[in-house]
Amino acid sequence: MQGVLGKKPYEVARQYAQRALSGQTASFENALPAKGGGKISIAVSYIPDIGPDRTVNESFALVQDITERMRAEEQRTIGLCQDGGKRGQ
């Protein structure tokens, strides 16, 4: 996985994956380099599979591309800054 993500993003993901393997749901958002340049934003949730005896069998990862949402939030923030926060009043 480190070869796909790169060292720094892998280290971020690894700490959350370890939480899931200890029985805790863990989520984070991150930006990664995109093929062909630019960045993509992702939201990742690691969910543990806990057996009836309360041991963690494995964990599942849900990865969502949130690039468009992040761009929209950035544009909204820029707009609010440009009009002094009066938008929508």
Q: What's the CATH number where 58 sits?
A: 3.30.450.20
Q: Which amino acid is it at 12?
A: V
Residue pLDDT, tens place only, 15-62: 999 999 999 999 999 998 888 889 999 999 999 999 999 999 999 999
What is the token pair recorded at 53? 């005896």
**How many structural domains compose the chain?**
1
49 close to 56: Cβ distance less than 8 angstroms: yes
Is residue 89 domain-resident? no
Is residue 31 domain-resident? yes
Is residue 60 domain-resident? yes
Q: pTM to 2 decimals? A: 0.74
Segments forming the whole domain that contains residue 8: 2-82
Higher pLDDT, 17 or 86: 17
